[in-house]
Each structure stands twice: as structure tokens, then as C-alpha cells.
Structure 1
């Protein structure tokens, strides 16, 4: 089990709502334990944790708090930063450079589409390629010379706005998403999915053995047998485990297309 520390601004909305959602999310994943605090002194030495999650905004950081969190990530700790974690804290140069960006503004809250780059499927596997949210589409300035690997963009006024990235910071990993204004986004399944996968990423967790899937029926119509097997092969973490069909001719077709290594059965 990975130990996670969540730091929020205060125990009132939207911070308390985020904490409640996040607690249920990580508990349901059965891979993490979570502590929640609004005491920024917890940043002075978070070395007991595998990752720190930040849903904070503005306020003050002491020098010990700033040195604590930046040193922690630089030495290999994971950091999951959400929405306003880059807002109102630009005076703390080391902190904001670690985050990588600074919030500079947004248009009014509205509905927009989010696009996720499939090139990141190896490290953020099986995320939705697109989804729609009601949120703030952030504008941000880049505050680091290190490369930011943008994994998602929002479509706002017909333009693509960068809204999420990964970066390395010393030996540590940083995941940032600009989504997360309030409960309308907190309850969104795709937002929750990226938080869990981002958390796994910054903790250095990888998928275990692939999920083996059996095809029952290798249908000839529209090439569905081949189509389904190709979709399995194209999905990271899945592999074709077996094919079952009562028609010997269809099993022979499956054997020709999938090879001798895939077990074939006439009776499930």
C-alpha cells in the first residue's frame, strides 16, 4: 500500500468536497492509504509518504515548507498537483518552478471538451480520449525550463488550451491537471480516472500481469472476430487469452489469424 498525503486549504467547500471525493477514490482503488490535512507544516517533512497531493490555492508558505516539499520531490517523492495548486503562489519561486506553471487567468466557468493525447497510454493507460466538463479553462505561464509533457488540452473558443502535463523534478515525478474547480468536476468519472492514474504514475506504480480476455464466438459477419481481437491487442494491459466457437470453420479462421499460441475451444 502506498501512503498518500493530501494537503487542502481548509475544511470547507470546495476543498472539503475534493477531500471527500479523493478519500473515497483512493480507498476504492485498494492500493493507497490517505491522510488529509490543512496544515502546511506537513510539507516540512513528508518523507513518510510515497506521494503528496495538493489541492491548495494562494496563502503563504514558510521557507521550511517550501524547502521541504521541493526537496522531497527532488529526492524521489511523487507530487499530484490539482487545479489551483499553481495559483497565487508565484512569489515562492522554487515551489512554482517545481509545479512548472503559474495560473494567470480564465474565462467564466463553462462547458468545454477535453482531449487526451493517446501517446501517453503507456504511462496513463486507458484514459478516455475525450470528455466534456463544466469547469474553468485555465490560462497558464510556464515557469520552468524543464520539459512539460502535455497529456491533455481543452477546446475553448475553437482553440486548444493546454490543461495537464507530466514532468520530472530531480528524481521525482509531477502530475498536474488544471481541471477541478468544484464538485461538478469532482464527480466526473474521467476526472477521477486521471487522478488515480496520475497518482499511480507519480508513485512509480506499473500495471501488473495483463488481463487475459477470451472471445466467445469468432463471428465472420463484418469481420467481428478479427475486429474484437484487434481491439484487445490495441488496449494496453489486455491480451487475447483464448477463442471459443462451436463452428470448426470459425476456429480454423481464428487459428489462421491469431496463431497457434492462442488456445482454441469448441465448448466453453
Structure 2
């Protein structure tokens, strides 16, 4: 019996076709028990049974006021939170969520091959990766560079693709502490194919394991 995760995939904005593949990926990573759903009422129930809450390509406003209060209290008290890809396109009307995640999505160029540079090899989300990791994704830009408030794990090499908008220092995955809790975010994971990629699966598993203190 591994750590129990609450995986939330509700969307009120853009909905990714990759969500079913992403949920299936988490179920087959090994080591976790998965409770998956899209009912916002799940976030108003006690969250203490979960080692981490995972927002998996959520979008728009997905929580009720009671759910916001419950999630914030859970993380501040030591719970884990994981955001994957479009989790950065979520809860724009809730200022705390932007602080929790570290940055918010603004735009992306076309889906294309590019390169991520591993900045921190001492984290379980990145220790398996080569120094330069070739991947295909949307290469999200953010409203702010979160470096001052997060531990940056990998950055986007904007010279490796077209349309990057953040410049030479472009964090793409990071972790941070919020109160007594742990937060991990990765901007990667747009396409269904990503969730079959062994390196990306290990990246996800490492980030979740860290956030959940597993």
C-alpha cells in the first residue's frame, strides 16, 4: 500500500485530450494509490488521508470557496501539492493559488521539439535525466520568473525551439515549500505520448514522491 493521491482533472477552460492517458500513467507508475475525479466537492472533504493532491492539466476555476479554504489549510499544515502542465492555467481568480504554484501560465508557442536543461540533478524528479533533455511539448511561458521563490529543477533552452518568450532564464519545472507543505510543478505533459515516455514518467514519479514525502 503506497501513498494515497487525490488526482483532480476538472476543467472549466481548455481541456487537454491527454488527460485520460495522464491519469492512466499515474495509475501505472507504481507505488501510489490513486483517487481520481472531477467533482469539486472532493476538495471540500478532509484531505488528510492523502499524501498529496495532484492537479493534472486542470484549467480555469475548478474549486469552490470551501475547496480553496480546505486545500490551503491542507498544504499549510504539511500536505503535498503537485501541478502538472495546465495546472498553471488554473484558479486565476484565487491569489493564493498563484503563490502556491510559483507562477501562472501566459502563453505558449506551437507544439514542437525542444530541449530542457537540467539545473538540479539532486532532486528525484531530475536525477535520472541527462544534462540536456530533448523533448516535445508546448514550452509554456509564465507571468513571472519564479526563481526567487522556488528551487528550479529544469529550464527551457529557448535556442532549441521557436517562439520562446522568457529569455535565457526560463524555469520549466520547480519545487518549493508552502507553510509546512511541499509543492512540485512541471510545465511538461501536453501530449498523450508524453505519458508513455520513460524519462517523463520518472520525472513525474520523482516530483510526486518528493511532494508526498514518500
Q: Which bracket does the TM-score occupy, shorter chain normalised?
A: 0.7 to 0.9
- Residue 164 of structure 1: aligned partner: 173
Offset at residue 125 of structure 1 (A): 6.3
* Contact 2:104–2:142 (8 Å) recurs in 1: yes
Local SS of the residue matching 2:104: strand
Q: Secondary structure at the match of 1:121?
A: coil
Tell me, yes or no, if the aligned pair for 2:61 and 2:93 is still in contact at 8 Å: no
Q: Which has the higher contact order (CA 8 A, sep 6+)?
A: 2
Query: What is the CA distance between 1:120 and its match in structure 2?
Result: 4.0
Q: Deviations over 1:165-194 (max 9, x none)?
A: 010000000000000112122222111111
Alignment match, 2:50: 49
Taking a change above 3 Å as real, the CA distance of residues 115 and 143 of structure 1, as seen in their structure-2 partners, is closer
**Greater fraction strand:** 1
Q: Is the 8 A contact 1:2 1:32 kept in 2?
A: yes
Q: Which of 161, 173, 181 matches 2:190? A: 181
1:27-176 equivalences in 2 (<5 Å): 29=30, 31-44=31-44, 45-55=46-56, 56-117=58-119, 119-121=120-122, 123-124=124-125, 126-129=127-130, 130-142=132-144, 147-157=149-159, 160=168, 161-176=170-185
Q: Which residue is equivalent to 1:3?
A: 4
Across the aligned residues of Structure 1 and Structure 2, the Cα RMSD in angstroms comes to 2.3
Which stretches in structure 1 are left out of the alignment for 5+ residues? 206-268
TM-score normalized by structure 1? Answer: 0.69
Look up the match of 1:15.
Answer: 19
Residues 110 and 135 in structure 1, CA contact (< 8 A), matched pair in contact too? yes
Asked whether the 8 Å contact 2:25–2:196 carries over to 1, the reply is yes
Runs (5+) with no aligned partner, structure 2: 161-166
User: Match of 1:142, SS?
Assistant: coil
State the aligned residue count: 200
Residues 1:12 and 1:115: Cα distance change in structure 2 (over 3 Å): closer
Q: Which protein shows a greater Rg?
A: 1
Q: 1:144 to 1:49 in 2, by over 3 A?
A: same
